[in-house]
Chain A
């Protein structure tokens, strides 16, 4: 099976803003492999290094040491991102464009031929239920609609790997359900989904495997059902135990 995401001994240091401390270690010696077709949950408390790791995968931040690959290509090469879709936690797009123009722009970025692009745009607009609002400028969209246009742009190139950074934060229950449905649908199509979330119930429902990070280090990685079985409790309790949160007896 092809490894879609491969991280080897990743270390990321930031210059610290605190006096007397030169650097802050955001990620320390992370090793991780995500296989094709998996829905992989990337968990950890705030400041654990999840977003930094995602930033390295997406080429926003360079690793201090170690290496990361997407589909076998070093993430430093822009072409490594040809087969991925990315939904940031906070969705901000060119608000002066209409929904359709935004998607057309991204199809040009992916070099999708125009006939294919139009078909693809209609398909994703229908999927995220924005086909009635595609001629309106994004600045007129509600928060939920902006999240959905974000999801549409992440899917525009029919990606083999979808990277979602807290995809359901700020969404209403219907929106959350819709995102879950899309993740399940992508899984059934053999796509890989790599996402971070604090909604552990949701992660337990949709993920095949999870990795839990704390203080920049990988604490555990494994199949959700195996972790739940091993610790004899739900994923939330497993998570709290692993990050060292004092649980009531």
Chain B
């Protein structure tokens, strides 16, 4: 556990020293500015529209941070050759993958905390209420969805050598799932065989990230998701994360590293 934590801390240090995290502050400033502009319009009905816009921005930004961060972890270790002194120590490849995953996922968690906190403070200042439980459910589901994405990106980084191609492919897949994942079964019904079976198989195999997008909970102050359903959704994400990390380890464990 010590080894995994040590690797995760290095990932976090790299992120804040490479200034990637400052994207977060720029975005936060943008959100603040957008929310602040409500007064300029002097129209309170526009608040919900702005909340929707800001949360969409948070989702897109978090996807970019999660995928871009995870995509370069292992290729950068290989390219910079830092992997050699590290794996020459009693560090297994599974620990390396778990350490990288933990670092990226923690970084995503920190980003989301800052995003949601700023967003919440400003929304509360306009609406004079802060449904903390709604925010908590939305944030946790969002964070676990990013966990799935970080894991699949790490797996992709072992398959594809270039972080840019890996990042682009995963980003397109993630946006695709978020946009049309829930409709794939309906699309399958309209197709002839074997297309129907293929689309159905895809529908049942992909991680349904759209389940974790509960922005409406905050935008429209909807009632909370029943807690047991919420916990099941987290378990669903954890299972997919474990599956992708396991795949990454299987591919990486026997891969030769030549100096």
Contacts and interface: CB of A to CB of B under 8 A. Distances in A.
Nearest to A163: B88
A78 B10 contact: no
Contacts of A62: 254, 256
B252 interface: no
Contact of B2 (A84, A92, A94, A108): A108
Nearest to B83: A60
A153 interface: yes
Contact of B82 (A58, A86, A94): A94
A94 B256 contact: no
Contacts of A141: none
Interface string B83-113: 0111111111001000000000000000000
A209 B5 CA distance: 41
A97 interface: yes
B257 interface: yes
Given A81-B90, A109-B90, A93 B3 contact: no
Contacts, number: 92
Given A51-B259, A88-B259, A97-B10, A60 B90 contact: no
A60 B86 contact: no
A90 B81 contact: yes
B258 interface: yes
Contacts of B13: 96-97, 101
A175 interface: no
15 contacts: A55-B257, A60-B258, A60-B259, A61-B256, A81-B89, A86-B88, A86-B89, A88-B88, A89-B259, A91-B85, A101-B13, A105-B6, A108-B5, A110-B89, A111-B3
Q: With a 10 A CB-CB cut-off, give which of B10, B88, B91, B92 has the most chain A CB atoms.
A: B88
A109 B257 contact: no
B113 to A, nearest CB: 23
Contacts of A14: 256
A60 B6 contact: no
A119 B254 CA distance: 37
B13 to A, nearest CB: 7
Contact of B88 (A84, A94, A95): A84
Contact of A150 (B17, B85, B89): B85
A163 B88 CA distance: 10
Interface in A40-55: 51-52, 54-55
- How many residues of B sit at the interface, in one of the four size bands? 20 to 34
A91 B88 CA distance: 13
Contact of B85 (A59, A111, A153): A153
Interface in B69-87: 80-82, 84-87
User: Which of A91, A108, A137 gathers the greatest number of chain B CB atoms within 10 Å?
Assistant: A108
A157 to B, nearest CB: 8
B221 interface: no
A157 B88 CA distance: 12
A165 interface: yes
Interface in B12-67: 13-14, 17-18
A79 interface: yes
Nearest to A91: B85
A108 B91 CA distance: 11
Given A59-B88, A96-B17, A108-B5, 14 more contacts: A58-B87, A58-B88, A60-B84, A78-B92, A81-B89, A88-B259, A95-B80, A97-B10, A105-B10, A106-B85, A108-B3, A109-B6, A111-B3, A153-B85
B200 to A, nearest CB: 38
A61 B258 contact: yes
Contacts of B9: 105
Given A60-B87, A105-B6, A153-B85, A96 B18 contact: yes
Contacts of B88: 58-60, 81, 84, 86, 88, 163
Contacts of A163: 88
A228 to B, nearest CB: 30
Interface in A68-117: 78-82, 84, 86, 88-97, 101, 105-106, 108-111
A193 to B, nearest CB: 15
A62 B87 CA distance: 14
Contacts of B3: 108-109, 111
A164 to B, nearest CB: 11
Contacts of A78: 90-92, 95
B81 A88 contact: yes
Contacts of A111: 2-3
B88 to A, nearest CB: 4
